């Protein structure tokens, strides 16, 4: 069964490819794909459409936030392990 917007799938695949390259070494490709899918779904829910430029901006921002949170967790873990040093 076809879904609305299935003809746009290559456009969103290209977004995923670009973001996967941009965030290489930061996020796995499946994380990038999930962010693109979530951005597409969110844009459709809020605006009724999912223009590629909007989906890319939303997905990029999600990935940036995830990277920031991950870096903060690593920083706190290092600091925490140093606090426990004899």
9-83 fold: Helicase, Ruva Protein; domain 3 (1.10.8)
Q: With pLDDT > 90 as the criterion, what percentage of the chain qualifies?
A: 72
Higher pLDDT pick, 4 / 75? 75
Domain ranges of the chain: 9-83
Exposure letters 2-19 (e unless 16+ CB within 10 A, then b): eeeeeeeeeebeebbeeb
Quick one: pLDDT band at residue 1, thresholds 50, 70, 90?
A: very low
Q: How far apart are CA 76 and CA 14, in angstroms?
A: 35
Q: At residue 36, does pLDDT exceed 80?
A: yes
- Cα(64)–Cα(38) distance, rounded to whole angstroms? 14
Output 41 or 10, whichever has higher pLDDT.
Answer: 41
Q: Which two tokens stand for residue 20?
A: 């996967």
């Amino acid at each position: 069964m076809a879904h609305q917007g299935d003809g746009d799938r290559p456009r969103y695949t290209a977004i995923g490819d670009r973001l996967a390259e941009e965030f290489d070494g930061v996020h796995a490709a499946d994380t990038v794909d999930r962010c693109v899918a979530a951005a597409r779904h969110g844009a459709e829910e809020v605006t009724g459409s999912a223009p590629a430029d909007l989906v890319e901006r939303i997905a990029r921002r999600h990935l940036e936030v995830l990277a920031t949170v991950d870096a903060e967790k690593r920083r706190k873990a290092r600091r925490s392990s140093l606090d426990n040093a004899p």
